[in-house]
A and B are shown apart, each in its own frame.
Chain A
């Protein structure tokens, strides 16, 4: 210590705060992992004998609209749409919303699916950008397809158009470039059939990384650990988030997010809640929080269900540039949602959401990178000045590192004990290796991206940024 009382006091308080924060973060992760493991085991037991095809026998199965916003997807849109139309379900239609693409998306769709302008009029319940045309097919094979051509307004606006156009009571909002399990709708719809005392307002599932996986005709044939280092680390990250995190939040009835890549919603409640917010880049999280608030404010019993089966496979960014844009956007989305719904903070009216989920997101998702960075900088300065020992500093870093490795190992074990999608020893070896490297290489980058997201929010950046992807081969073989 310095011998100067005020500085010593600051250092002591600072050290205690950092230590308490670290212990709280680690403990919360472990508690969530335990809850997840128990509920995952229960889920697998209950669904071991489920025959999802049984749902195909029910003519009055929930009617669903798959809404797929598309922007400049001309090269892959035909195969993407064919892949969506081939989903195994009775009562569904596919609404492709062309969000003012500058490429040839619309001519490609017109040609491929024999589309003609429909006499159907657009009467928006949620206001959106102008809709130019609505197309339907003259070919009965594509009778489930509706294509909407609209002025560019962003993903949330396109999804709102899809909501307005849909006449079905349930909506599945998806990213058109994702690979869906053929039974995705059967699995998402099941909770809506089972609940009787509560209204299921949304179901969401697990998103997995598809890089390096074998994909043929729009179907996932073989799961492999990605060859690219960044994509491989994201496999670990997604396993931790989805298997060890969201499952627990679902069990606690505190799920604040359903992935934007795919989720199923009760259309009526989504519309009454106002649809997707076009002023945020975190529209997926914001909508689910708003829908939950709506139900609580109107004193209606409801449920949000989470399906831990891997149903949606997405392409993860393989370059730091794209990853950085994605993560800073996620951070901006988090900030915007937390700010919009700040009234929920420690508000007992919102039960788990207000007392647990919201504070958790605020402290451990939003503040964590800020605290981590600030703590690291101050500790290095203090160590450099000789006020605290370097041994203490490195031991503390090693403690955090070892915990991150432990958590990744638990995630890998959970995957092996449950869904077992990475089949070979080579895959396991690759994933274990990145688990050891992730805290040193990947994590600091995500902290940097989160800080950048904060800065972008302060400086008024509202864009999505270019998210160029390689794309999957969905052509028939």
Chain B
């Protein structure tokens, strides 16, 4: 029978000491995580309360500005607003509230909100985000600036089109469309930028949401060698439903050998008398 030499035999005493210390360490880490969770929750509850209180004040301030004759300058220069503007949380909540209202109101109301955003210094706060090393901040900045139609940001946003993050690149494209219209897509006609279906759905969503009108030369996109751009053009034509687009689509349908594009055009033309 094989007998183990003593050094391979289980040394319970030594192992007990190791296990004893392991238990202390593991429990210590468990308590550390418990403490972290607790502090995170308490901080979140506190921030939520603070945010709710802030939201109330901001809402009343914005509604007063929108629906009374108080000029934007007066609100912006009020000592209370200037004092609150030092807080990052205040800036974030205010921008979110402005975007929400901007989405729901049009005409003079939306112009007034855009003016408030530009003159209050909140636009500068968003512009600073464009310099961030973290791409989510850059995306957030582009989204805020373009949603609130801050035209001065256009060159800065365009300068980010070769950003290393694809998320930023996509947001730049969306921002350009929101600020200058769908004609911006024409600039990408000869680029190899691949617009997957998800990006395309975001572009279509922006076009619909911001009621962006069709450019005259949308049909030119059908000449692009980039199939994803062509696909987007077909989808845009489907949205705009203009007769001249259908003619161009029919010609393209007969010429192209790409099955996906053919299928997409067929979906559009089936709704018309062009294809039965």
The residues of A that contact B15 with a CB separation of less than 8 Å are 19, 392
Bound Cα distance from A159 to B64, whole angstroms: 57
The residues of A that contact B198 with a CB separation of less than 8 Å are 54-55, 190, 193-194
Q: Is A27 at the interface (CB under 8 A from chain B)?
A: no
Q: Is B23 at the interface (CB under 8 A from chain A)?
A: yes
Bound Cα distance from A405 to B23, whole angstroms: 11
Evaluate whether A416 and B41 lie within 8 angstroms (CB atoms) in the complex, with A60-B267, A399-B23 already known: yes
Judging by beta carbons under 8 Å apart, are B38 and A396 in contact? no
Taking the nearest CB of chain B, how far is it from the CB of A131, in angstroms? 31
As a 0/1 sequence over residues 38 to 55 of chain A, the CB contacts with chain B under 8 angstroms (1 = contact) are 000000011011010111
The residues of A that contact B8 with a CB separation of less than 8 Å are 12
Bound Cα distance from A9 to B30, whole angstroms: 36
Which of B10, B30, B37, B201 gathers most chain A CB within 10 Å? B201
Q: How large is the interface on B (under 10, 10 to 19, 20 to 34, 35 or more residues)?
A: 35 or more
Q: Is B53 at the interface (CB under 8 A from chain A)?
A: no
A19 — nearest CB in chain B belongs to which residue?
B15
Judging by beta carbons under 8 Å apart, are A395 and B20 in contact? yes
Bound Cα distance from A215 to B91, whole angstroms: 35
List CB contacts (< 8 Å) of A11-41 with chain B.
Answer: 11-12, 15-16, 19
Judging by beta carbons under 8 Å apart, are A409 and B4 in contact? no
Judging by beta carbons under 8 Å apart, are A57 and B33 in contact? no
Judging by beta carbons under 8 Å apart, are B16 and A428 in contact? no
Judging by beta carbons under 8 Å apart, are A389 and B12 in contact? yes
Taking the nearest CB of chain A, how far is it from the CB of B5, in angstroms? 11
Q: Is B200 at the interface (CB under 8 A from chain A)?
A: yes
Taking the nearest CB of chain B, how far is it from the CB of A199, in angstroms? 14
The residues of B that contact A139 with a CB separation of less than 8 Å are none
The residues of A that contact B240 with a CB separation of less than 8 Å are none
Partner of B235, one of A58, A396, A402: A58
Q: Is B158 at the interface (CB under 8 A from chain A)?
A: no
Judging by beta carbons under 8 Å apart, are A57 and B204 in contact? yes
Judging by beta carbons under 8 Å apart, are B23 and A395 in contact? yes
Q: How large is the interface on A (under 10, 10 to 19, 20 to 34, 35 or more residues)?
A: 35 or more
SS class, residues of chain A in contact with chain B: helix
Q: Is A61 at the interface (CB under 8 A from chain B)?
A: yes
Judging by beta carbons under 8 Å apart, are B22 and A59 in contact? no
Q: Is B50 at the interface (CB under 8 A from chain A)?
A: no
As a 0/1 sequence over residues 53 to 78 of chain A, the CB contacts with chain B under 8 angstroms (1 = contact) are 11111111100000000000000000
Judging by beta carbons under 8 Å apart, are B140 and A49 in contact? yes
The residues of A that contact B139 with a CB separation of less than 8 Å are 49
As a 0/1 sequence over residues 1 to 41 of chain B, the CB contacts with chain A under 8 angstroms (1 = contact) are 11110001110100110011011001101110110111011
The residues of B that contact A140 with a CB separation of less than 8 Å are none
Partner of A392, one of B16, B31, B38: B16
The residues of B that contact A58 with a CB separation of less than 8 Å are 197, 200-201, 204, 235
Judging by beta carbons under 8 Å apart, are B29 and A406 in contact? yes
Taking the nearest CB of chain A, how far is it from the CB of B36, in angstroms? 6
Judging by beta carbons under 8 Å apart, are A196 and B196 in contact? yes
Partner of B4, one of A12, A53, A55: A12
Q: Is B44 at the interface (CB under 8 A from chain A)?
A: yes
The residues of A that contact B71 with a CB separation of less than 8 Å are none
Q: Is B163 at the interface (CB under 8 A from chain A)?
A: no
Bound Cα distance from A71 to B31, whole angstroms: 46
Q: Is B205 at the interface (CB under 8 A from chain A)?
A: yes
Taking the nearest CB of chain B, how far is it from the CB of A60, in angstroms? 6
Q: Is A425 at the interface (CB under 8 A from chain B)?
A: yes
Q: Is B264 at the interface (CB under 8 A from chain A)?
A: yes
Judging by beta carbons under 8 Å apart, are B235 and A49 in contact? no
Bound Cα distance from A402 to B19, whole angstroms: 11
Judging by beta carbons under 8 Å apart, are B205 and A51 in contact? yes
Evaluate whether A428 and B41 lie within 8 angstroms (CB atoms) in the complex, with A5-B2, A58-B200, A395-B19 already known: yes
Bound Cα distance from A428 to B42, whole angstroms: 11
Judging by beta carbons under 8 Å apart, are A416 and B9 in contact? no
Judging by beta carbons under 8 Å apart, are A193 and B1 in contact? no
Bound Cα distance from A399 to B30, whole angstroms: 12
Q: Is B262 at the interface (CB under 8 A from chain A)?
A: no
Bound Cα distance from A399 to B20, whole angstroms: 8
Taking the nearest CB of chain A, how far is it from the CB of B3, in angstroms? 4
The residues of A that contact B193 with a CB separation of less than 8 Å are none
Q: Is B49 at the interface (CB under 8 A from chain A)?
A: no
Judging by beta carbons under 8 Å apart, are B36 and A15 in contact? no
Q: Is B152 at the interface (CB under 8 A from chain A)?
A: no
Judging by beta carbons under 8 Å apart, are B201 and A9 in contact? no
The residues of B that contact A5 with a CB separation of less than 8 Å are 1-4
Partner of B23, one of A16, A53, A60, A398: A398
Bound Cα distance from A205 to B268, whole angstroms: 34
Q: Is A145 at the interface (CB under 8 A from chain B)?
A: no
Evaluate whether A16 and B3 lie within 8 angstroms (CB atoms) in the complex, with A54-B201, A402-B30 already known: no
Evaluate whether A409 and B34 lie within 8 angstroms (CB atoms) in the complex, with A59-B238, A389-B12 already known: yes
The residues of A that contact B44 with a CB separation of less than 8 Å are 416, 420
Q: Is A470 at the interface (CB under 8 A from chain B)?
A: no
Taking the nearest CB of chain B, how far is it from the CB of A225, in angstroms? 13
The residues of B that contact A16 with a CB separation of less than 8 Å are 10
Judging by beta carbons under 8 Å apart, are A9 and B3 in contact? yes
The residues of B that contact A381 with a CB separation of less than 8 Å are none
Judging by beta carbons under 8 Å apart, are B9 and A399 in contact? no
Q: Is A296 at the interface (CB under 8 A from chain B)?
A: no
Between-chain CB contacts (< 8 Å), 28 pairs: A5-B3, A9-B4, A12-B10, A19-B15, A48-B136, A49-B167, A49-B171, A57-B207, A57-B208, A58-B200, A58-B201, A58-B235, A59-B235, A60-B197, A60-B235, A193-B198, A194-B196, A194-B198, A389-B12, A392-B15, A396-B19, A399-B22, A403-B26, A405-B27, A406-B29, A406-B33, A412-B37, A416-B37
Across chains A and B, which 6 residue pairs bring their CB atoms closest together, nearest first? A54-B205, A193-B197, A57-B204, A406-B30, A409-B33, A58-B201
List the interface of chain B (C-beta within 8 A of A): 1-4, 8-10, 12, 15-16, 19-20, 22-23, 26-27, 29-31, 33-34, 36-38, 40-42, 44-45, 136, 139-140, 143, 167, 171, 194, 196-198, 200-202, 204-205, 207-208, 235, 238, 264, 267
List the interface of chain A (C-beta within 8 A of B): 1, 5-6, 8-9, 11-12, 15-16, 19, 45-46, 48-49, 51, 53-61, 190, 193-196, 388-389, 391-392, 395-396, 398-399, 402-403, 405-406, 409-410, 412-413, 416-417, 420, 425, 428, 432
